[in-house]
Structures are given as C-alpha cells and as structure tokens.
Amino acid sequence: KLRKPHLCMGRMRFLLRGCMTRRPAKAGSIARGAGVALGEAVFRSLCEALQAGSYRAGDRLREEEVAQRLKVSRTPVREALGRLAARGFVEPAGGRGLIVRNLDISEVLELYAMREIMEGAAGRLAAEHAASTEIEALREIEQAFVEDSLTDAAEMARLNRAFHEAICRAARNRY
C-alpha cells in the first residue's frame, strides 16, 4: 500500500518506519489511551525506542523480554514484532527472536537523497508560512546549538531533531 510522501523528517520517519513520532514512552511503560489498541500501543512504543536509539542495529528483540519490559502479555508484542518484520526493520535471528537490521549503503543513499528533497521543500514552506513565534523558537534552538557545541552528542542529536521538527511544523503542510 503506497502512502503519500510527507514533507518533514518527523513525518518522513512515519512514512519510512510506519510509526508515530512522539517522545519515547518511559522505560517499562507504553503509551496507552485515546482508544489505541494494545497491539498498536506496543508497536508505537517499539518504533519510538528504535527512533530514539534505545535499540540499535544488531540488537536482539525477544518477545518475552519486550513483554516484560512493557508490562504486557506476549500477544501484542508478537503482533508488533510481526509488523516491524513486515516493514523490514527487524529480521529473524535463527530461532532466537529478531534482530534490528542494519541499513545497507544503497538504502542509506536513497534515504538521504529523499531527505534532501523533502527537507528543502519543508524549509521553503516554513520560510513562507512561519509565525514570529516559530521563528523565535528556531532561533532559540540555534542558540542552544551554539552553547552546547561539541559537548554532548545526545543533546546535539535531540536539538537537531527539535530543529527539523520545528521547521516541519512551521511549513504548515499536513503531509
């Protein structure tokens, strides 16, 4: 099933990963509520953990361990892991669960080629539509980059995501 292309990286992550892009749930919990089925909540939680780097390429995901960590039964975990496998984000690990797969070089090049196009379009739209409060928020993130320059890699990555997400919101494009 084809999906419409999205114009921002936060939404592009959704397109590529089939996940919502929200802050990761706290360790040992999942984001429940708002009428979301438990299997969907587990799937989103795993997607968020992948996006946040909690799981890295080569890490093993065992159904029982994930269920214990998220405090749910194995059934919704099995469903979520099946969805991740169907999307190619994990692969069988010889009867011992699944492992997070690594992108090969051609996939990385394809991803960045598309990202270049989509981020440029999001920037153009943001320049046309951003409110003064959004521009100020971007300046604050930029200032934080300058202040934290080369001291904390995790904080720099967080700021980078925040900057790109702010541009996407300012673009005022639902896709």
Within 10 Å of residue 3's Cβ, how many Cβ atoms?
Answer: 10
Provide the H-helix boundaries in the chain.
Answer: 9-17, 38-52, 63-70, 74-86, 105-129, 132-147, 153-171
As to burial, measured by CB atoms within 10 angstroms (0-12 exposed, 13-18 middle, 19+ buried), residue 61 is: buried
Cα(47)–Cα(59) distance, rounded to whole angstroms? 14
Q: Which residues pair with 90 in a beta bridge?
A: 100
Q: Residue 87 and residue 66: Cα distance in Å, rounded?
A: 19
Ranges under pLDDT 50 in the chain: 1-27
pLDDT recorded at residue 20: 39
What's the confidence (pLDDT) of residue 107? 93
DSSP 8-state symbol, 61: E
pLDDT tens, position by position, 56-102: 899 999 999 999 999 999 999 999 999 999 999 999 988 788 999 99
Beta bridge partners, 92, equal 98
Phi, psi of 60 (to 5 degrees): -90, 135
Supply the pLDDT for residue 29: 62
Contact (CB, 8 A) for 99 and 146: no
